[in-house]
Structure 1
Amino acid sequence: MRYRPISFDRLAAELTERLLALPGEERVRVAVDGAVGTGNLAADLASRLRVGGRPVLTVSTMDYLRPASLRFERGRTDPDARYTDWLDESALRREVLDPLAPGGTGMVLPALWDAERDRATRQDRIMLPPGGVLIAHGELLLGRGLEFDLTVHLAVSAGALRRRLPESEHWALPAYQRYEAEVRPAEVADVLVRTDDPRHPAVLERAA
Protein backbone atom coordinates (compact mmCIF):
# COMPACT_ATOMS: atom_id res chain seq x y z
CA MET A 1 0.00 0.00 0.00
CA ARG A 2 1.22 3.47 -0.83
CA TYR A 3 0.00 6.58 0.95
CA ARG A 4 0.21 10.03 -0.62
CA PRO A 5 0.67 13.01 1.71
CA ILE A 6 -2.19 15.46 1.36
CA SER A 7 -3.70 18.42 3.17
CA PHE A 8 -7.32 18.45 4.24
CA ASP A 9 -7.88 21.38 1.87
CA ARG A 10 -6.54 19.35 -1.03
CA LEU A 11 -8.50 16.30 0.06
CA ALA A 12 -11.74 18.30 0.04
CA ALA A 13 -10.81 19.73 -3.38
CA GLU A 14 -10.16 16.26 -4.81
CA LEU A 15 -13.40 14.86 -3.42
CA THR A 16 -15.26 17.86 -4.83
CA GLU A 17 -13.76 17.26 -8.28
CA ARG A 18 -14.78 13.61 -8.09
CA LEU A 19 -18.36 14.44 -7.14
CA LEU A 20 -18.79 17.27 -9.63
CA ALA A 21 -17.71 14.89 -12.39
CA LEU A 22 -20.73 12.65 -11.70
CA PRO A 23 -23.87 13.06 -13.84
CA GLY A 24 -26.13 15.75 -12.44
CA GLU A 25 -29.42 13.90 -12.81
CA GLU A 26 -29.13 11.71 -9.70
CA ARG A 27 -28.65 12.59 -6.06
CA VAL A 28 -25.41 11.38 -4.45
CA ARG A 29 -25.08 10.04 -0.89
CA VAL A 30 -21.65 10.48 0.72
CA ALA A 31 -20.48 9.13 4.08
CA VAL A 32 -17.59 10.73 5.95
CA ASP A 33 -16.80 8.19 8.65
CA GLY A 34 -14.38 8.39 11.55
CA ALA A 35 -13.94 8.76 15.28
CA VAL A 36 -12.66 12.34 14.98
CA GLY A 37 -12.57 15.11 12.39
CA THR A 38 -15.52 14.18 10.20
CA GLY A 39 -17.51 17.36 10.75
CA ASN A 40 -14.73 19.66 9.55
CA LEU A 41 -14.19 17.71 6.34
CA ALA A 42 -17.94 17.49 5.70
CA ALA A 43 -18.34 21.26 6.11
CA ASP A 44 -15.41 22.05 3.80
CA LEU A 45 -16.66 19.60 1.18
CA ALA A 46 -20.19 21.02 1.35
CA SER A 47 -18.92 24.57 0.89
CA ARG A 48 -16.88 23.63 -2.17
CA LEU A 49 -19.74 21.69 -3.74
CA ARG A 50 -22.06 24.65 -3.35
CA VAL A 51 -19.52 26.87 -5.10
CA GLY A 52 -19.48 24.23 -7.84
CA GLY A 53 -23.24 24.58 -8.27
CA ARG A 54 -24.45 21.47 -6.45
CA PRO A 55 -27.16 21.65 -3.78
CA VAL A 56 -25.82 20.07 -0.57
CA LEU A 57 -27.27 18.78 2.68
CA THR A 58 -25.09 17.72 5.60
CA VAL A 59 -26.44 15.37 8.26
CA SER A 60 -24.62 14.51 11.47
CA THR A 61 -25.13 11.10 13.05
CA MET A 62 -25.26 12.95 16.38
CA ASP A 63 -28.70 14.14 15.24
CA TYR A 64 -29.78 10.56 14.63
CA LEU A 65 -29.06 9.03 18.00
CA ARG A 66 -31.62 6.92 19.82
CA PRO A 67 -33.33 8.31 22.95
CA ALA A 68 -31.31 8.17 26.16
CA SER A 69 -33.54 5.44 27.57
CA LEU A 70 -32.29 3.15 24.79
CA ARG A 71 -28.71 4.40 24.45
CA PHE A 72 -28.02 4.16 28.17
CA GLU A 73 -30.00 1.04 28.96
CA ARG A 74 -26.71 -0.68 29.89
CA GLY A 75 -25.19 2.45 31.41
CA ARG A 76 -23.76 5.68 30.05
CA THR A 77 -20.27 4.29 29.44
CA ASP A 78 -20.89 0.89 27.88
CA PRO A 79 -18.67 0.58 24.76
CA ASP A 80 -20.74 -2.21 23.25
CA ALA A 81 -23.84 -0.04 23.50
CA ARG A 82 -21.93 2.80 21.82
CA TYR A 83 -21.12 0.42 18.98
CA THR A 84 -24.51 -1.21 18.49
CA ASP A 85 -27.22 0.87 20.19
CA TRP A 86 -26.49 4.57 19.89
CA LEU A 87 -27.14 5.25 16.20
CA ASP A 88 -30.75 4.96 15.03
CA GLU A 89 -29.74 3.44 11.72
CA SER A 90 -33.31 2.50 10.78
CA ALA A 91 -34.38 6.13 11.09
CA LEU A 92 -31.31 7.35 9.19
CA ARG A 93 -32.14 4.93 6.40
CA ARG A 94 -35.85 5.80 6.37
CA GLU A 95 -35.61 9.58 6.75
CA VAL A 96 -32.41 10.35 4.83
CA LEU A 97 -30.92 7.64 2.64
CA ASP A 98 -33.99 5.97 1.12
CA PRO A 99 -35.61 9.25 -0.02
CA LEU A 100 -32.38 10.07 -1.88
CA ALA A 101 -32.09 6.71 -3.64
CA PRO A 102 -32.97 6.57 -7.36
CA GLY A 103 -36.69 7.13 -7.65
CA GLY A 104 -36.91 8.56 -4.12
CA THR A 105 -38.92 11.62 -3.13
CA GLY A 106 -35.89 13.75 -2.24
CA MET A 107 -37.64 14.88 0.98
CA VAL A 108 -35.19 14.52 3.86
CA LEU A 109 -35.41 15.08 7.60
CA PRO A 110 -32.08 16.79 8.41
CA ALA A 111 -32.20 16.00 12.13
CA LEU A 112 -34.38 13.63 14.14
CA TRP A 113 -33.30 13.71 17.80
CA ASP A 114 -31.80 16.37 20.05
CA ALA A 115 -29.56 14.25 22.26
CA GLU A 116 -28.79 17.18 24.60
CA ARG A 117 -32.46 17.74 25.46
CA ASP A 118 -33.39 14.10 24.76
CA ARG A 119 -36.38 14.96 22.63
CA ALA A 120 -37.39 15.10 18.97
CA THR A 121 -36.05 18.10 17.04
CA ARG A 122 -39.42 18.61 15.32
CA GLN A 123 -37.67 19.87 12.21
CA ASP A 124 -39.45 19.97 8.87
CA ARG A 125 -38.40 17.83 5.94
CA ILE A 126 -36.55 19.65 3.18
CA MET A 127 -36.14 18.86 -0.50
CA LEU A 128 -32.75 17.94 -1.90
CA PRO A 129 -33.25 18.34 -5.64
CA PRO A 130 -31.88 16.02 -8.33
CA GLY A 131 -28.14 16.52 -8.64
CA GLY A 132 -27.89 17.32 -4.94
CA VAL A 133 -25.32 15.77 -2.61
CA LEU A 134 -25.95 14.42 0.86
CA ILE A 135 -22.96 14.32 3.22
CA ALA A 136 -23.60 12.17 6.28
CA HIS A 137 -20.78 12.39 8.82
CA GLY A 138 -20.01 10.71 12.10
CA GLU A 139 -18.62 7.60 13.73
CA LEU A 140 -19.13 3.88 13.14
CA LEU A 141 -21.11 4.41 9.93
CA LEU A 142 -19.83 1.58 7.77
CA GLY A 143 -20.74 -2.09 7.93
CA ARG A 144 -24.39 -1.42 8.81
CA GLY A 145 -25.89 -1.98 5.37
CA LEU A 146 -26.50 1.74 4.90
CA GLU A 147 -26.53 2.67 1.21
CA PHE A 148 -23.95 5.29 0.22
CA ASP A 149 -22.55 6.14 -3.20
CA LEU A 150 -19.16 7.23 -1.86
CA THR A 151 -17.58 6.42 1.50
CA VAL A 152 -14.62 8.22 3.08
CA HIS A 153 -12.98 6.85 6.22
CA LEU A 154 -10.71 8.98 8.39
CA ALA A 155 -8.53 6.34 10.00
CA VAL A 156 -6.77 6.86 13.34
CA SER A 157 -4.54 4.33 15.06
CA ALA A 158 -5.50 3.19 18.55
CA GLY A 159 -2.63 5.09 20.14
CA ALA A 160 -3.35 8.32 18.26
CA LEU A 161 -7.05 8.08 19.03
CA ARG A 162 -6.32 7.74 22.74
CA ARG A 163 -4.24 10.94 22.52
CA ARG A 164 -6.83 12.85 20.52
CA LEU A 165 -9.95 11.92 22.48
CA PRO A 166 -10.60 13.70 25.77
CA GLU A 167 -10.01 11.44 28.73
CA SER A 168 -13.73 11.48 29.50
CA GLU A 169 -14.29 9.61 26.22
CA HIS A 170 -11.67 6.90 26.72
CA TRP A 171 -14.35 4.48 27.88
CA ALA A 172 -15.48 4.33 24.20
CA LEU A 173 -12.11 3.14 22.88
CA PRO A 174 -13.15 -0.56 22.88
CA ALA A 175 -16.06 0.36 20.60
CA TYR A 176 -13.66 1.72 17.99
CA GLN A 177 -11.39 -1.30 18.40
CA ARG A 178 -14.35 -3.60 17.81
CA TYR A 179 -15.30 -1.57 14.72
CA GLU A 180 -11.81 -1.95 13.32
CA ALA A 181 -11.82 -5.72 13.94
CA GLU A 182 -15.33 -6.50 12.71
CA VAL A 183 -15.94 -3.99 9.91
CA ARG A 184 -12.38 -3.25 8.73
CA PRO A 185 -13.38 0.23 7.54
CA ALA A 186 -9.94 0.83 6.02
CA GLU A 187 -10.66 -1.97 3.57
CA VAL A 188 -14.30 -1.27 2.75
CA ALA A 189 -14.20 2.53 2.37
CA ASP A 190 -13.86 3.97 -1.12
CA VAL A 191 -11.41 6.62 0.14
CA LEU A 192 -9.06 5.95 3.06
CA VAL A 193 -7.24 8.79 4.80
CA ARG A 194 -4.72 8.24 7.60
CA THR A 195 -5.11 11.01 10.17
CA ASP A 196 -2.90 9.99 13.10
CA ASP A 197 -1.37 13.47 12.87
CA PRO A 198 -4.20 15.78 11.72
CA ARG A 199 -1.60 18.24 10.45
CA HIS A 200 -0.20 15.66 8.02
CA PRO A 201 -2.93 13.37 6.64
CA ALA A 202 -2.23 10.88 3.87
CA VAL A 203 -4.59 9.24 1.39
CA LEU A 204 -4.24 5.66 0.21
CA GLU A 205 -3.46 5.33 -3.48
CA ARG A 206 -5.70 2.48 -4.56
CA ALA A 207 -5.00 0.51 -7.73
CA ALA A 208 -7.18 1.63 -10.63
Structure 2
Amino acid sequence: MPVRPVSPGILVEELADIVAGAPSGRWLRVGVDGPPPAGPHDLADALVTPLRVRGRPVQRVRADDFLRPASLRLERGRTDPDAFYEDWLDVRGLTREVLDPLGSAGTGRILPTLWDADRDRATRAGYVTVPDSGVLLLSGALLLGTGLPLDLVVHLEMSPAALARRTVEADRWTLPAYRRYADEVDPPMLADVVVRVDDPRHPALVA
Protein backbone atom coordinates (compact mmCIF):
# COMPACT_ATOMS: atom_id res chain seq x y z
CA MET A 1 0.00 0.00 0.00
CA PRO A 2 1.24 3.52 -0.75
CA VAL A 3 2.47 5.34 2.33
CA ARG A 4 2.70 9.15 2.43
CA PRO A 5 4.83 10.82 5.11
CA VAL A 6 3.30 13.95 6.61
CA SER A 7 4.13 16.32 9.43
CA PRO A 8 2.10 16.00 12.67
CA GLY A 9 0.40 19.32 11.90
CA ILE A 10 -0.61 18.29 8.38
CA LEU A 11 -1.83 14.95 9.73
CA VAL A 12 -4.21 16.70 12.10
CA GLU A 13 -5.53 19.00 9.38
CA GLU A 14 -6.06 16.17 6.91
CA LEU A 15 -7.78 14.01 9.48
CA ALA A 16 -10.00 16.93 10.46
CA ASP A 17 -10.98 17.31 6.80
CA ILE A 18 -11.78 13.59 6.59
CA VAL A 19 -13.87 13.60 9.76
CA ALA A 20 -15.69 16.85 8.96
CA GLY A 21 -16.49 15.60 5.47
CA ALA A 22 -17.58 12.10 6.44
CA PRO A 23 -21.21 11.24 5.72
CA SER A 24 -23.14 10.83 8.93
CA GLY A 25 -26.55 10.94 10.47
CA ARG A 26 -27.37 13.27 13.30
CA TRP A 27 -23.99 12.58 14.94
CA LEU A 28 -20.66 11.02 13.94
CA ARG A 29 -18.92 8.53 16.23
CA VAL A 30 -15.17 8.51 15.58
CA GLY A 31 -12.66 6.16 17.17
CA VAL A 32 -8.94 6.94 17.42
CA ASP A 33 -7.40 3.55 18.11
CA GLY A 34 -3.82 2.79 19.10
CA PRO A 35 -1.51 1.69 21.90
CA PRO A 36 -0.37 4.37 24.37
CA PRO A 37 3.02 5.00 22.68
CA ALA A 38 1.15 5.86 19.46
CA GLY A 39 -0.60 8.74 21.24
CA PRO A 40 -4.31 8.15 20.48
CA HIS A 41 -5.43 10.52 23.25
CA ASP A 42 -3.07 13.26 22.08
CA LEU A 43 -4.24 12.95 18.47
CA ALA A 44 -7.90 13.03 19.45
CA ASP A 45 -7.26 16.09 21.62
CA ALA A 46 -5.48 17.79 18.71
CA LEU A 47 -8.50 17.25 16.45
CA VAL A 48 -10.94 19.10 18.70
CA THR A 49 -10.15 22.69 17.68
CA PRO A 50 -9.74 22.02 13.92
CA LEU A 51 -13.12 20.28 13.88
CA ARG A 52 -14.79 23.13 15.74
CA VAL A 53 -13.23 25.57 13.26
CA ARG A 54 -14.90 23.45 10.56
CA GLY A 55 -18.25 23.96 12.24
CA ARG A 56 -18.55 20.63 14.05
CA PRO A 57 -19.28 20.48 17.79
CA VAL A 58 -16.99 17.94 19.47
CA GLN A 59 -17.33 15.71 22.52
CA ARG A 60 -14.17 13.97 23.79
CA VAL A 61 -14.33 10.59 25.53
CA ARG A 62 -11.45 8.35 26.64
CA ALA A 63 -11.90 4.60 26.70
CA ASP A 64 -9.74 4.61 29.86
CA ASP A 65 -12.73 6.14 31.66
CA PHE A 66 -14.83 3.08 30.80
CA LEU A 67 -12.77 0.28 32.32
CA ARG A 68 -14.42 -2.44 34.35
CA PRO A 69 -14.12 -2.49 38.17
CA ALA A 70 -10.88 -3.96 39.55
CA SER A 71 -12.71 -6.99 40.93
CA LEU A 72 -13.51 -8.01 37.34
CA ARG A 73 -10.62 -6.40 35.47
CA LEU A 74 -7.89 -7.87 37.67
CA GLU A 75 -9.51 -11.21 38.48
CA ARG A 76 -6.66 -13.02 36.71
CA GLY A 77 -3.97 -10.74 38.14
CA ARG A 78 -2.67 -7.25 37.53
CA THR A 79 -0.34 -8.16 34.67
CA ASP A 80 -2.21 -10.80 32.70
CA PRO A 81 -2.08 -9.83 29.00
CA ASP A 82 -5.07 -11.98 28.07
CA ALA A 83 -7.19 -10.32 30.74
CA PHE A 84 -6.00 -6.92 29.51
CA TYR A 85 -7.07 -7.87 25.99
CA GLU A 86 -10.39 -9.49 26.89
CA ASP A 87 -11.65 -8.07 30.18
CA TRP A 88 -10.46 -4.54 30.86
CA LEU A 89 -12.71 -2.40 28.65
CA ASP A 90 -16.37 -2.14 29.67
CA VAL A 91 -17.69 -2.52 26.14
CA ARG A 92 -21.32 -2.73 27.26
CA GLY A 93 -21.06 0.36 29.44
CA LEU A 94 -19.32 2.37 26.73
CA THR A 95 -21.89 1.31 24.17
CA ARG A 96 -24.85 1.93 26.45
CA GLU A 97 -23.75 5.28 27.86
CA VAL A 98 -21.95 6.84 24.88
CA LEU A 99 -22.26 5.16 21.50
CA ASP A 100 -25.88 4.00 21.34
CA PRO A 101 -27.22 7.43 22.41
CA LEU A 102 -25.41 8.86 19.37
CA GLY A 103 -26.82 6.27 16.97
CA SER A 104 -29.67 6.81 14.55
CA ALA A 105 -32.34 6.28 17.22
CA GLY A 106 -30.38 7.94 20.02
CA THR A 107 -31.13 10.90 22.24
CA GLY A 108 -27.71 12.59 22.07
CA ARG A 109 -27.47 12.43 25.86
CA ILE A 110 -24.25 10.69 26.93
CA LEU A 111 -22.16 10.01 30.01
CA PRO A 112 -18.60 11.26 29.28
CA THR A 113 -16.95 9.18 32.04
CA LEU A 114 -18.14 6.13 33.95
CA TRP A 115 -15.37 4.60 36.07
CA ASP A 116 -12.31 6.01 37.82
CA ALA A 117 -9.89 3.09 37.56
CA ASP A 118 -7.34 4.67 39.91
CA ARG A 119 -9.86 5.05 42.76
CA ASP A 120 -11.90 2.05 41.58
CA ARG A 121 -15.23 3.78 41.87
CA ALA A 122 -17.82 5.45 39.69
CA THR A 123 -16.92 8.95 38.53
CA ARG A 124 -20.46 10.18 39.19
CA ALA A 125 -20.17 12.39 36.12
CA GLY A 126 -23.25 14.19 34.87
CA TYR A 127 -24.85 13.52 31.52
CA VAL A 128 -24.19 15.92 28.64
CA THR A 129 -26.06 16.42 25.40
CA VAL A 130 -24.12 16.36 22.13
CA PRO A 131 -25.56 18.92 19.67
CA ASP A 132 -26.80 17.96 16.24
CA SER A 133 -23.94 17.46 13.73
CA GLY A 134 -21.67 16.80 16.72
CA VAL A 135 -18.63 14.55 16.52
CA LEU A 136 -17.71 12.10 19.26
CA LEU A 137 -13.95 11.55 19.48
CA LEU A 138 -13.33 8.32 21.37
CA SER A 139 -9.67 7.47 21.95
CA GLY A 140 -8.06 4.35 23.35
CA ALA A 141 -6.40 1.03 22.70
CA LEU A 142 -7.80 -2.27 21.40
CA LEU A 143 -11.04 -0.66 20.24
CA LEU A 144 -11.59 -2.64 17.05
CA GLY A 145 -13.04 -6.13 17.03
CA THR A 146 -15.07 -5.44 20.17
CA GLY A 147 -18.36 -4.66 18.46
CA LEU A 148 -18.29 -0.97 19.38
CA PRO A 149 -20.66 0.87 17.00
CA LEU A 150 -18.30 3.44 15.49
CA ASP A 151 -18.91 5.30 12.24
CA LEU A 152 -15.27 6.06 11.40
CA VAL A 153 -12.04 4.69 12.89
CA VAL A 154 -8.51 6.04 12.67
CA HIS A 155 -6.00 3.34 13.59
CA LEU A 156 -2.50 4.32 14.70
CA GLU A 157 -0.24 1.48 13.59
CA MET A 158 3.16 0.66 15.08
CA SER A 159 5.48 -2.16 14.09
CA PRO A 160 6.06 -4.75 16.84
CA ALA A 161 9.66 -3.57 17.19
CA ALA A 162 8.67 0.10 17.52
CA LEU A 163 5.92 -0.72 19.99
CA ALA A 164 8.28 -2.77 22.13
CA ARG A 165 10.92 -0.06 21.99
CA ARG A 166 8.53 2.74 22.97
CA THR A 167 6.53 0.92 25.63
CA VAL A 168 7.63 1.87 29.13
CA GLU A 169 9.03 -0.92 31.28
CA ALA A 170 6.02 -0.97 33.61
CA ASP A 171 3.68 -1.68 30.68
CA ARG A 172 5.73 -4.22 28.76
CA TRP A 173 3.53 -7.02 30.08
CA THR A 174 0.80 -5.72 27.72
CA LEU A 175 2.81 -6.43 24.56
CA PRO A 176 1.40 -9.96 24.05
CA ALA A 177 -2.10 -8.44 24.05
CA TYR A 178 -1.16 -6.15 21.17
CA ARG A 179 0.29 -9.12 19.30
CA ARG A 180 -3.03 -10.92 19.72
CA TYR A 181 -4.85 -7.81 18.55
CA ALA A 182 -2.74 -7.61 15.39
CA ASP A 183 -3.13 -11.34 14.66
CA GLU A 184 -6.79 -11.82 15.54
CA VAL A 185 -8.35 -8.49 14.57
CA ASP A 186 -5.97 -7.10 11.90
CA PRO A 187 -6.96 -3.50 12.75
CA PRO A 188 -5.52 -1.90 9.57
CA MET A 189 -8.03 -3.94 7.56
CA LEU A 190 -10.98 -2.75 9.66
CA ALA A 191 -10.04 0.90 10.11
CA ASP A 192 -11.15 3.65 7.74
CA VAL A 193 -7.86 5.54 8.07
CA VAL A 194 -4.48 4.06 8.98
CA VAL A 195 -1.56 6.16 10.20
CA ARG A 196 1.87 4.64 10.77
CA VAL A 197 3.51 6.12 13.84
CA ASP A 198 6.66 4.13 14.52
CA ASP A 199 8.06 7.57 15.28
CA PRO A 200 5.16 9.86 16.31
CA ARG A 201 7.22 12.86 15.19
CA HIS A 202 7.14 11.50 11.62
CA PRO A 203 3.72 9.98 10.93
CA ALA A 204 2.69 8.57 7.57
CA LEU A 205 -0.76 8.09 6.06
CA VAL A 206 -1.45 4.71 4.50
CA ALA A 207 -3.54 4.99 1.34
Q: TM tier, shorter chain? A: over 0.9
* Deviating 4+ runs (over 6 angstroms): none
For 2:90, the equivalent position in structure 1 comes to 88
Shift of 1:53: 2.1
Letter in 1 for 2:29: R
Within 1, Cα distance between the matches of 2:92 and 2:71? 17
2:68 counterpart residue number = 66
One-letter amino acid of the structure 1 residue matched with residue 82 of structure 2: D
**Separation in 2, partners of 1:38, 1:123:** 23
Is 1:132 aligned with 2:96?
Answer: no
Output one character per residue of 1:121-143: Cα deviation in whole Å (capped at 9) or x when no partner.
00011000110000000000001
Moved more, 7-16 or 74-83: 7-16
- What root-mean-square deviation, in Å, do the aligned CA atoms of Structure 1 and Structure 2 show? 1.2
Partner of 1:141: 143
Deviation at 1:158, TM superposition (A): 1.0
Which amino acid is the alignment partner of residue 35 of structure 1?
A: P
Deviations 1:153-175 (A, max 9, x none): 00011111111111110011000
Q: Indicate how the Cα distance of structure 1 residues 67 and 149 shifts in structure 2: closer, same or farther if over 3 A, else same.
A: same
Q: Is the 8 A contact 1:161 1:196 kept in 2?
A: yes
**Is it true that 1:105 corresponds to 2:107 in the alignment?**
yes
Take 1:25 and 1:151, find their aligned partners in 2: how far apart are those partners? 16
Q: Which residue of 2 aligns with 1:187?
A: 189
Give 5+ residue unaligned stretches, structure 1: none
Identity %: 56
Tell me if the contact between 1:62 and 1:138 (Cα under 8 Å) persists in the aligned partners: yes
- Structure 2 segments unaligned to the other structure (5+ residues): none
- What residue number does 1:34 align with? 34
Deviation at 1:24, TM superposition (A): 7.7
Name the CA distance, whole Å, in 2 between partners of 1:17 and 1:197: 23
CA drift of 1:7 comes to 1.9
The alpha carbon displacement at 1:54 in A equals: 1.4
- Is 1:6 the counterpart of 2:6? The answer is yes
Measured in 1, the distance between the counterparts of 2:156 and 2:117 equals 24
For residue 15 of structure 1, what is the amino acid of its counterpart? L
Retained in 2: the 8 A contact 1:23–1:131? Answer: no
CA distance in 1, matches of 2:22, 2:32: 18
**Which residues in structure 2 correspond to 1:112-127 (within 5 Å)?**
112-127=114-129
Q: Deviations over 1:43-92 (max 9, x none)?
A: 01112112222111111011000001111100000000000000000000
Report the secondary structure of 2:52's partner residue: helix
Contact 1:78–1:171 (Cα < 8 Å) also in 2: yes
How far apart in 1 are the matches of 2:75 and 2:21?
45
Q: Is the 8 A contact 1:25 1:130 kept in 2?
A: no
1:8–1:41 contact (8 Å) kept in structure 2: no
| TM-score when normalising by structure 2 | 0.96
- Aligned pair count reads 205
